[in-house]
Amino acid sequence: MKIGVSTASLYPLHAEDAFKTLCGLGVKTIEVFANSTCEGQEPCVSLMREMQKEYGIDVTSFHPFSSPMESVFLFSTYDRRIDEMMALYRGFFESMKKFGAEIFVLHGAISSSKCSEQHYVKQFAMLSDAGREYGVTVAQENVSYCLSGKLEFLKMMKRELGDKAKFVLDLKQARRSHENPLDYVKELGGNIAHCHISDADSERDCLAVGAGCFDFECLIRALVDKGFDGNLIVELYRQNYGDFSELKTSADNLCEIVDKLK
């Protein structure tokens, strides 16, 4: 189980600057969030790869900014748009190979989309198959404003896709969907491949780890009981914490919790 931080937490820093900042803080496991197409392409990828080698960084995952476009591109029925997004994402998969990153985080179609469940499953399977050609696992994230914001929708994906359905459990998004994160673990079990971690309290749904009252021990035990061996990646919104050092502290706090449970 690897524990790290997403560059998304340092928005609006450019991806390579966010990567460098995390390296300087001593973070050893990083998820790359590309806030523009170029940040998943050359020369940005090579800049981050150089830092990856210099600091001994494990890049676990890649999360593209392009999620708002997925409804009208990947999950549409218009062939040219689908082809364009598949070409873009294949390029991202190629970059992921360079990093050694295995998890591609997908938001998917928004809730107001007219995409049917049948079509959604077909398109997800197509992207998943493409990812596997590059050694990449495409994982569906639960996102409150997307079709994936409903646990029932994710259960449908698991039922229809079987082992091909992999998921990213995002704690803050589960809270925003008024869902209990433990219900995701119970229902999706070993299909959860990756987690986006944040703390919370009764008034705020996204905080640095240790700044709220969420029971991480209970969550991690539940994940391990289901066979989880993926990554715990701290992903915060910039307004929800103070100094960048809180990101490293969050990762360290998670490490302590995991070590205590061993």
Structure tokens at 19: 């990567």
Predicted confidence at residue 202, as pLDDT, reads 92
Convert the pLDDT of each residue in 140-197 to its tens digit. 999 999 999 999 999 999 999 999 999 999 999 999 999 999 999 999 999 999 999 9
110, pLDDT greater than 90: yes
Convert the pLDDT of each residue in 196-246 to its tens digit. 999 999 999 999 999 999 999 999 999 999 999 999 999 999 999 999 999
Query: How far, in Å, CA of 3 to CA of 252, rounded?
Result: 8
Query: How far, in Å, CA of 241 to CA of 118, rounded?
Result: 40
67, pLDDT greater than 90: no
Give yes or no for a contact between 168 and 142, defined as CB atoms under 8 angstroms apart. yes
Give the confidence band of 254 by pLDDT, cuts at 50, 70, 90. Answer: very high
262, pLDDT greater than 90: no
Structure tokens at 232: 């715990």
This prediction has a pTM of 0.97
Arithmetic mean of pLDDT, 22-43: 98
Write the CB contacts of 114 (distance below 8 Å, at least 6 apart in sequence). Answer: none
Candidates 255, 258, 254; CA nearest to 224 is: 258
Query: How far, in Å, CA of 236 to CA of 212, rounded?
Result: 13
Predicted confidence at residue 224, as pLDDT, reads 96
Helices (H), the chain: 15-25, 44-55, 79-99, 117-132, 151-161, 171-176, 181-188, 216-225, 245-261
End-to-end CA distance of the chain: 11
Domains and CATH numbers, the chain: 2-261 (3.20.20.150)
Candidates 163, 183, 164; CA nearest to 175 is: 183
CA 26 and chain centroid, separation: 21
* DSSP label at residue 142: P
Predicted confidence at residue 68, as pLDDT, reads 87
Arithmetic mean of pLDDT, 125-140: 98
Query: How far, in Å, CA of 262 to CA of 247, rounded?
Result: 23
Cβ neighbours of 148 (radius 10 Å): 27
Query: How far, in Å, CA of 11 to CA of 45, rounded?
Result: 17
Predicted confidence at residue 84, as pLDDT, reads 98
Predicted confidence at residue 30, as pLDDT, reads 98
Give the confidence band of 101 by pLDDT, cuts at 50, 70, 90. Answer: very high
